[in-house]
Amino acid sequence: MAANKKTISKTSDWITVGQNYHLTVVDYPDVPNMAKYLNEERISSQSFTIPHPYLRSDAEHFIEQTLAFEAREGMQSFWAIRASSGDLIGGIGLLFSEGVDAHSSDFGYWLAVPFWNQGIMTQVIRAFTRHVFGKNLLQRLYAKVFAGNRASCRVLEKSGFRMIRLEKAAFQKGSRDIDAIVYEMNNEMYTAQNQQ
């Protein structure tokens, strides 16, 4: 890796997403919107980690854990998706399943239901990948999507990710096993796509 990511991705990073949206750090004033928007079964049903119901205490715990991780590691792991008003309407973040020193990471994302089907998440993922690869933070990004979540698959495909495999019974939610589709983008793919 060309540079130490702990000195590149600071918790003050601001990422512009088109004219009306941007990505910034998450903080405790975001608790009401997180609790409101994530207490939606259509979101939790497509996520391995978001419970239903989603309570204020869940939002507070998530923010506490995120801020502690970012302070300890000196790097940003989660970005709030914000409307031009500054209100949180979603989130996107690195999961670091292979550890913070790995050259790759999986990532997850969500968007409040009132903002679905407007092309926002495609713009967000494009801006996010531009940030990650443009600053040489990682060599590879990947996302695991529930196999039935065609909308999320389309968003990743429109953002330049490629499907690399199907993982049978990758998740268990309640009593059911759920297959996952794994998408990837690496530095070479990003560079090639942005030279066209």
Nearest to 149 by CA among 47, 51, 81, 39: 47
Contact 182, 165 (CB under 8 A): yes
Side-chain-side CA neighbours of 62 within 13 Å: the count stands at 27
Cα–Cα distance for residue pair 108/141, rounded to 1 Å = 10
Rounded percentage of the chain residues whose pLDDT exceeds 90? 80
pLDDT of the residue at 176 = 86
Question: In the predicted model, is pLDDT for residue 190 greater than 90?
Answer: yes
Question: In the predicted model, is pLDDT for residue 1 greater than 80?
Answer: no
Question: What's the pTM value of the predicted model, to 2 decimals?
Answer: 0.91
List the beta strands (DSSP E) in the chain: 15-17, 21-24, 78-83, 88-94, 104-111, 140-146, 162-173, 176-186
Residue range 174-196: mean pLDDT, rounded: 90
**Residue 6: pLDDT band by 50, 70, 90 thresholds?**
very low
Question: In the predicted model, is pLDDT for residue 8 greater than 50?
Answer: no
Chain-wide mean pLDDT for the chain?
Answer: 91
Cα–Cα distance for residue pair 77/108, rounded to 1 Å = 11
pLDDT of the residue at 11 = 55
**Residue 162: pLDDT band by 50, 70, 90 thresholds?**
very high
- In this structure, of 10-19, 35-44, 144-153, 178-187, the range with the lowest mean pLDDT score is 10-19
Residue range 34-47: mean pLDDT, rounded: 96
pLDDT of the residue at 173 = 82
Digit-coded pLDDT (tens) for 89-139: 999 999 999 999 999 999 999 999 999 999 999 999 999 999 999 888 899
pLDDT of the residue at 3 = 41
